[in-house]
Amino acid sequence: MGRFCFKGIYANHIHLLFITFKLLDKQSKFVTWYALRTYNCQEIKISDFLTDRQMVHFIPMTYVERKNREGKVKRVLVPVVHNLIFLRKDKSQKEILSILGECMTPISVLRKEGSGDCYEIPDSQMVEFRALCDPDFEDKQFITHDEADAKPGKEVRIVHGQFAGMTGKLHRVNNNYFFIKTLAGVGVMIRISRWYCKVIDSKL
């Protein structure tokens, strides 16, 4: 699923993550997240910093194959984007910014355009994004936001299968169809049957 931390416990499986957040949502109906940026390849240091302060966060991860010293190939989890972290907003903006300011590694928070306020991501979008980022789901690829925008398609809702209820773009390549979801500059593209999707706006 990704590097996910809740009170110092890491979870890499989708079912555990959904159970955890089902419990959290009972406590708050208006959960939101911040998108954090840092220097390249410093996201794990930031994760350790947030873990020490018991702050819930998520880093999209994917499997890659690497050789060890014995020359054997092993599958290891690595961050999809090497400077992106999602942080659950459990405190006020002022409190969170104060805590982030204590980190020795520089961190910036995605802001609203034309405003100094931090951009807040609804938890419903994060739930969908985390599900699509599950590293055990192999039939997917990660793309940039610009690449996702450049791909033509219709806005749809998935009505069948494990991702039923999700909304995004349905993109066609020859006779194949792909569902695209973007968040904070990162896009996830999965192969899907067009019969699993329903167009949201027939005018598109």
pTM for the whole structure = 0.78
pLDDT category at 9 given cuts 50, 70, 90 is very low
| 107-164 per-position pLDDT tens digit | 999 998 877 889 999 998 888 898 888 888 878 888 888 898 899 999 999 999 888 9
Q: What single DSSP character describes residue 118?
A: B
CA 180, chain centre distance (Å): 13
What confidence tens digit (pLDDT) does each residue in 13-66 have? Answer: 343 344 444 444 444 567 899 999 988 788 889 999 999 999 999 998 888 888
Q: How far from 67 is each of 70, 71, 72, 76, 79, CA to CA, in Å?
A: 8, 5, 5, 10, 18
Asked if residues 129 and 181 have their Cβ atoms less than 8 Å apart, the reply is yes
Out of 3.40.50, 2.30.30, 1.10.357, 2.60.120, the CATH code matching 139-204 is 2.30.30
- CATH of 1-123 given 3.30.200, 1.10.10, 3.40.50, 3.30.70: 3.30.70
Amino acid at 145: H
- Looking at the chain, which residues constitute the CATH 2.30.30 domain(s)? 139-204
